[in-house]
Amino acid sequence: MNMRISAGEFTERSLQIIRDLKHLEGPMLPILHAIQAEFGYVPDEVKPVIASELNLSRAEVHGVVTFYHEFRDHPAGRHVLKLCRAEACQSMGSDRIADRARQLLGIDFHQTTLDGAVTLEPVYCLGLCACAPAAMLDGEVYGRVDEHCLSEIVAEARR
C-alpha cells in the first residue's frame, strides 16, 4: 500500500518521471498526471521535488495541484465511480440516481466507502449527453443508467 512508501522512494520514483517529461513545453500537467498514475494521488512529498526540477517555488506547484479537480491529495478507493451531474443528465433524472448511489454506498460525494472499495465523485459532463444519465467506473463508461444498472455497477465495484 501507499503508506509503506518512504519519502526517499517518493523522491526517487518521481524524479524519474519528472526527468522523462521535463523536456516538454509546459511539462507540469503531464508530470502531475504521471505522478498520479504512479501513486494514485499527488503526495505532498513530491511537490518540492517537482519545484526544484522545474525551477519553481513549492507554492507555485501547490497552487497548480490544488487548482484542478482531478488531482487528489490522498489515495482514492480501489475503484472510482463518477456520476455526471450536469444539465443533460439532470433532464433524465440523474439527481435520483445520485441519491440512490449515496444510499447504496453509504457515502456522499468526494468520500470513500469504509472498506476502501469505492470513491464516489461528481463529474460535469462525460460527453454522453444523448444517452443520459451517464457514469464512469474507472475508465469504463455507462449510458442510460437506471437504478438496476447502478446496482450492477456498484456490485461490480465492490467485488
Partner 1 sequence: MTVTIYVPRDAAALALGAEKVANAITQEIAARGLDAKVVRNGSRGMFWLEPLVEVRTEHERIAYGPVKAGDVKGLFDAGFLEGGQHALHLGPTHDIPFLRQQTRLTFSRCGVTDPLSLDDYRHYQGLKGLENAIAMTQAQIVAQVTDSGLRGRGGAGFPTGIKWKTVMDAAASQKYIVCNADEGDSATFADRMIMEGDPFVLIEGMIIAGIATGATKGYVYTRSEYPHAIATMTEAVKIARAAGILGPSVMGSVHAFDMEIRSGAGAYVCGEETSLLNSLEGKRGIVRAKPPLPALQGFLGRPTVVNNVISLASVPVIMDRGAAFYRDFGMGRSRGTIPIQIAGNVKYGGLYETAFGLSLGEIVDHIGGGTATGRPVKAVQVGGPLGAYFPRALFDTPFDYEAFAARDGLIGHAGITVFDDSADMLKQARFAMEFCAIESCGKCTPCRIGSTRGVETADKIAQGIEPEKNKALLADLCNTMKFGSLCALGGFTPYPVMSAMNHFPEDFEPAPVVEAAE
Q: Which is nearer to partner 1, 2 or 91 (CB)?
A: 91
| Sequence-ordered list of residues with C-beta below 8 angstroms from that of 108, at least 6 positions apart, any chain | 102, 120
Q: Which is nearer to partner 1, 66 or 115 (CB)?
A: 66
Least distance in Å: CB of 8 to partner 1?
A: 26
Determine whether 159 is exposed, middle or buried from the number of CB atoms within 10 Å of its CB (0-12, 13-18, 19+). Answer: exposed
> Which region, judged by CB under 8 A, interacts with partner 1, from 12-20, 22-30, 73-81, 104-112?
22-30
> Which of positions 100-159 make contact with partner 1 (CB under 8 A)?
123-132, 134, 136, 139, 141-144
Interaction of residue 26 with partner 1, rule CB under 8 A: yes
Alpha helices in 2-135 (DSSP H): 7-21, 28-39, 47-54, 58-67, 87-90, 94-105
53 CB neighbour count, 10 Å cutoff: 18
Q: Which is nearer to partner 1, 68 or 106 (CB)?
A: 68
Q: Phi-psi category of 136—alpha, beta or left, where left has phi over 0 and alpha has psi -120 to 50?
A: beta
Residues of the shown chain interacting with partner 1 in the complex, contacts defined by CB under 8 A: 24-30, 32-33, 54, 63-64, 67-71, 86-92, 123-132, 134, 136, 139, 141-144
